[in-house]
Homo-oligomer: A and B are copies of this chain.
Amino acid sequence: MTAATPQQPKKILVVSAHPEPRSLNAVLTGSAVDHLRTAGHEVRVSDLYAMKWKATVDADDFPDHAADQRLRVMAASQQATLAGRLAPDIAAEQEKVRWADAVILQFPMWWFSVPAMLKGWMDRVFTSGFGYGPAVPPPYSEGALAGRRALVSVTIGARESAFSERGIHGRLADVLHPLQHGLFWFTGMTPLEPFAVYGANDISQEQVAAAKREFTQRLDGLFTDEPVPFRSLDGGDYGRDMRLLPGVEAPGTGGLDIHLRPDADARPDTGIRPGGPTRLRG
């Protein structure tokens, strides 16, 4: 397989979180790695279960922290980050994220979020001084990790309609807001619309093949697709109290969509659009 449009070789980090090496998530991860490498990109993989990644933040993350002192997590993590004294497994992941032009997260949706294993990667790697915070070096004034694209690839047991515009679980975009806007946007990264495979607990070989094809199309657009049009913090839309100023959104815009730029296309209710969320019914 080769990319539809030739791209400049880029550096891509794939982070995957599933305990089973024969899972759909492992298949999608493997497929992505093969496709991206064939297209000439440099790819590194953090297979968190295979790495036996430590999922929980504790004092061991900060070797200089004195055992008898109260652990203030944000302060300790910022201090350790700036001193270059984080636990080696954290430092190694930070180096990978810093190296990457794009980060892909591959995971099954468990309880409407990432598995604890992946949450632990987020909690431990994106320290103050690395992912955000006043101590982030000046070149990153628009966000510590500016310039990096971010793509979520998620498998979901439920059917697509349950996560659609009026779906009972909320729109996928809203359910993933803590990740897309909370982690990616907040640290300066550029999130794309997520890639989702629905009905993932009972999926046929044909559907797996279709999912792989759709995923590779999304990978071909990793550096060219329109990202989610979140507003900029520095764009004049927000007040000093961190609230959106009155009247900057288009009339009738509600919910979390007020944080999207009004010049961008509205999110579609159904149907596939180029670069938009992929829907595969299980």
A interface, CB within 8 angstroms of B? 19-20, 22-23, 49, 55-59, 70-75, 108, 110-117, 119-120, 122-123, 126, 157-159, 161-162, 164-170, 174-175, 177-179, 181-183, 186, 201, 233, 238, 241-244, 246, 252-259
Contacts and interface: CB of A to CB of B under 8 A. Distances in A.
A167 B240 CA distance: 11
Contacts of A122: 110-111, 116
Contact of A116 (B23, B55, B75, B179): B55
14 contacts: A19-B57, A55-B120, A73-B110, A110-B122, A110-B123, A113-B178, A115-B119, A116-B116, A116-B119, A116-B122, A159-B242, A162-B242, A166-B246, A170-B259
Given A19-B73, A166-B246, A174-B255, 8 more contacts: A20-B71, A23-B71, A57-B110, A74-B201, A112-B178, A159-B241, A164-B243, A168-B233
A150 to B, nearest CB: 13
Given A58-B19, A257-B255, A182 B70 contact: no
Nearest to A70: B22
A178 B244 contact: no
Contacts of A72: 20, 201
Nearest to A249: B166
CB-based closest 6 A-B pairs:
A255-B255, A254-B254, A112-B182, A116-B120, A112-B178, A162-B242
A221 to B, nearest CB: 26
A170 B161 contact: no
Contacts of A179: 111-112
Contacts of A20: 59, 70-73
